[in-house]
A and B are shown apart, each in its own frame.
Chain A
Amino acid sequence: MRQQLRILAIATLALLAAACAPMAPAPTDTSAPVPPPRQAPEPPPPEVEERPTIRSGEPRQAPNSAVASLLDQGWTLYRRDDFQGALGVASRAQRIDSRSPEVYLLMASAQFSLYQLAVAEQVARKGLAFAQSGSPVSRQLQSLLARIAASR
């Protein structure tokens, strides 16, 4: 039993170390703000949050390649103004990792573009709950929330 717990602890540390590893840079301009509805040439880029510091329990695993790939697809659809398509792809990503703030950023951005302000706000808040404070995705979600508030 103790041996198993030690293995679990080592695995947890290994996951933490992996989670802290730098991620590939976002493919688009990271400073681009969340666009206003219907006028958005550039969507918020799918940045990856920095890893949290020490937390009790299991660290959240880095988004796997399936989620990253789906988010890429989703943002591509978003840029083409296919917001329903983007929501559909984001839902698939959510099923794989329902704690990914990047997934909620895409969902909230698509809902915002569909003028579903109340839904967009709550979905963004959910993403914020999973994002580390001060991380790029957290800033983007905050920015989106500000734009939602301004649109009301």
Chain B
Amino acid sequence: MARQKKSTRKKNRTRRPFWLRLTLWLGVWGLVLGVVAILVLNGIVRAKFEGAKWALPAHVYGRSLDLYQGLSLSANRLRWELDQLGYRPVATVASPGQYRVSGSRIELYTRKFQFWDGAEPARRLTLSFDSGGISDLKGSDGQLDVVRLEPMVMGGIYPDHQEDRVLVTLDEVPEHLLKGLLAVEDRDYYDHFGISFKGIARALMSNIMAGGTVQGGSTITQQLVKNFYLTQERSLIRKGVEAVMAVLLEVHYSKEDILQAYLNEVFLGQSGKRAIHGFGLASRHFFRQPIQELDVHQSALLIGMVKGASFYDPWRNPERAKTRRNLVLDVMAEQGVISQDQASAAKARPLEVSATPGTTTNAYPDYLQLVKEQLRREYREEDLSSAGLRIFTHFDPQVQRQVEASAATVVDNLEKGYRIDAGALETAAVVVRIGTADILALAGGRKPGYAGFNRAVDARRQVGSTIKPAVYLAALERDSAYTLATPIDDSPLSVKIPGSSVWEPANYEKRSHGLVPLYAALGNSYNQATARLGLSLGLPTVSQTIRRLGYEGSLPEVPSMLLGSTDMSPLDVATLYHTIAAEGFYSPLRTISAVYTADNKPLKHYPFATEQRFSPQVMHLLHYGMQVVMREGTGKGAYRRLPEGLVVAGKTGTTNDQRDSWFAGFSGDYVGVVWVGRDDNGKMPLTGATGALQVWSDIMAGVEARSMPFIKPEGVTYVWVETATGRLSSEGCAGARHLPFIDGSEPRDKSSCYRTQGPGVVDWFKELFER
């Protein structure tokens, strides 16, 4: 019996047809594989969505502009800054990001901004201007002391794939944008589970009715899956995977989370190599405005671009973009997002995209290079390019704008004026704020925005006479031996260099001047007098002085060092001159003020640091001598561009065969260093005075520099001196000059005119301050 049953079962099994067994087999394995695939996809969906969704580039900010009564800022300059920040001129100021100009007043509604050191709220302001700048600053509750504008993004550090985005949260997105997006892209968003057959059918109908594609068939969730997880490949398998992942995404996450991710992921344009992703960045890129400030017609344009960012690019295809925008506005009205009247009003408006892109990767490459060099010493490359760091710098777009304009136009004019081949000259410039040591602007060449060789940082050229203040500073520190009145021998000299030739420096005009007062030797940049002075001090003393001023590079101690044979970059020279301008306090020059994480947690601050290296007394004397350069010596040509009453100090520099033209100097606010020369180190018909000084004075005039505060410190006494002999004299005596001395170093010998009165003293210093 048992054998019979067994035999029957065997017969039944053998009776199943092959196709059935194959189907069963495939079905079981298909099910297993399907479950495994879903589990794998589920893992992928969750891992990416719950981790850091995007590699966020670091955004580099410029300085914030503090507005206060007394700020030397014209209404035009403020308007320029507001335009750069995307503020809109309007008839009635009603919300953040708007301003109105009325005569000498500007009404302004600032934006809120999370600074590294605190939050600045949005405020309504009224600023009044007079010839000196801001004369009054009022808020809605009365007088305000100080308000700061948000800084502009001056650059970024991008990941290899060059995706850029500014993350937004749902509550930052205007309601009309959200609803409009859903009306056009996914009307049933809140009703489906990732896939909508109804939506596909409706999109088909809408497109037929509209005579074009106004609605996509994929849901927002599917689009996010495609962009976020998959490739742009068009295949049935990819579509199937997309559908499964869309459902999985809906199972795990809320509609709000998915919509927010979509808003930040969607591709909305291309700017060179950089891809513009998300509505947050697109708003800034196309309109220079934060997303909160978008009007209906602007939102409609961005919504329309989801369908094809390049095809509907408003700069390249404005008519096509406008047609698409108006189609979106019609859908928004039809779906009740906006009224018909609102739609008609919005359709009547122009596209109003910004004249130039509101976001750029590298508009200021030379400054950004300096920032990056410092960051790369302190952070890993992947953190810089993917962690969304917020880097706050001291970059001043107003000063940079002037530096770029002066570099381009003055160098152009020099080539024309001196009949130099067009394009043969190059230039570099650095501007530093005195006291804070902030690098405000930097130009590595004459072409603004050109990312090439950064001459301001990387070009090392002989500095010529711009080094001379260090020689005179070393002398004036020995106040028992040298004062501004000490006669210096400007006769020819020759120095035998061991193992080399004889060094015979000569004056520029090839003549000697005999004994000259120390201040005049500096003012007129006499080479022979300076060489003699430096040799008497000793090369190590001068070398040490240059080091104390802040130079850290190579400094061969050879006699020609005294006349500037050392190679330095404009940035090096700016460091030395900042120590001089800051009255003997050395400070490392700074580009970065702070680095913060994407969620505003501090990583590093770069506070002000300083070190007193020279006494205020000796610096006062040196400042006097460097003012003589500007009033009577090689720098006086600056006053062709600068106001006569402006007190500035500086020094020209010209190297052998006029291969380099330098000027370094300072006003009350800024140290500026300019170099002009040829990249091939060729000769030029330019000196420091006829070349670099012209660029420098154009910059200082353009930034409306203030006079340097030439304040006599304690321990300095002014006495009248007969300049020809260095003896004590009196006001009014022939050849008398009012000179500062470190207490105890005043001359003791008296001239015959001492304590007598005489008429007609000409002394610019006394004229300026004592009339």
Q: Are B70 and A66 in contact (CB under 8 A)?
A: yes
In Å, the complex CA distance between A98 and B438 comes to 11
Q: Are B69 and A88 in contact (CB under 8 A)?
A: no
A57 touching B710 in the complex, CB below 8 Å, given contacts A88-B117, A126-B612: yes
Cβ-based interface call for B597 (8 A): no
Main secondary structure of the interface of B (DSSP, over half): loop
Q: Are A65 and B145 in contact (CB under 8 A)?
A: yes
Residue in B116, B436, B607, B647 whose beta carbon sits within 8 Å of that of A119 in the complex: B607
Cβ-based interface call for B445 (8 A): no
Main secondary structure of the interface of A (DSSP, over half): helix
Which residues of the other chain, B, contact A68 by a CB distance below 8 angstroms?
145
Q: Are A64 and B68 in contact (CB under 8 A)?
A: yes
Which residues of the other chain, A, contact B68 by a CB distance below 8 angstroms?
64-66, 96
Which residues of the other chain, B, contact A125 by a CB distance below 8 angstroms?
612
Q: Are A56 and B607 in contact (CB under 8 A)?
A: no
B725-771 contacts to A, CB under 8 A, are 740, 767-771
Choose among A1, A9, A70, A98 the residue with the greatest number of B CB atoms under 10 Å from its CB. A98
* Interface mask (B667-707 → A, CB under 8 Å = 1, otherwise 0): 00000000000000000000000000000000000000001
In Å, the complex CA distance between A65 and B769 comes to 27
B583: min CB distance to chain A, Å? 6
Which residues of the other chain, B, contact A39 by a CB distance below 8 angstroms?
none
Report how many residues on chain B are interfacial, defined by Cβ distance under 8 Å. 47
Cβ-based interface call for B29 (8 A): no
Which residues of the other chain, A, contact B585 by a CB distance below 8 angstroms?
122, 126, 129
Q: Are A66 and B438 in contact (CB under 8 A)?
A: no
Q: Are A91 and B593 in contact (CB under 8 A)?
A: yes
Q: Are A129 and B710 in contact (CB under 8 A)?
A: no
A59 touching B711 in the complex, CB below 8 Å, given contacts A65-B145, A96-B68, A122-B611: yes
* Interface mask (A51-65 → B, CB under 8 Å = 1, otherwise 0): 010011111100011
Which residues of the other chain, A, contact B611 by a CB distance below 8 angstroms?
122
Cβ-based interface call for A107 (8 A): yes
Cβ-based interface call for B97 (8 A): no
Cβ-based interface call for A2 (8 A): yes
In Å, the complex CA distance between A60 and B737 comes to 25
In Å, the complex CA distance between A107 and B210 comes to 66
Q: Are A60 and B612 in contact (CB under 8 A)?
A: no
Which residues of the other chain, A, contact B709 by a CB distance below 8 angstroms?
57-58, 60, 99
Q: Are B767 and A98 in contact (CB under 8 A)?
A: no
Residue in A52, A91, A129 whose beta carbon sits within 8 Å of that of B583 in the complex: A129
In Å, the complex CA distance between A5 and B767 comes to 8
Cβ-based interface call for B233 (8 A): no
In Å, the complex CA distance between A92 and B769 comes to 31
Q: Given A4-B644, A60-B711, 18 other A-B contacts at CB below 8 A?
A: A5-B645, A57-B712, A59-B711, A64-B69, A65-B69, A66-B146, A70-B146, A87-B607, A88-B115, A95-B433, A95-B436, A96-B68, A98-B436, A99-B435, A122-B609, A122-B610, A122-B611, A129-B583
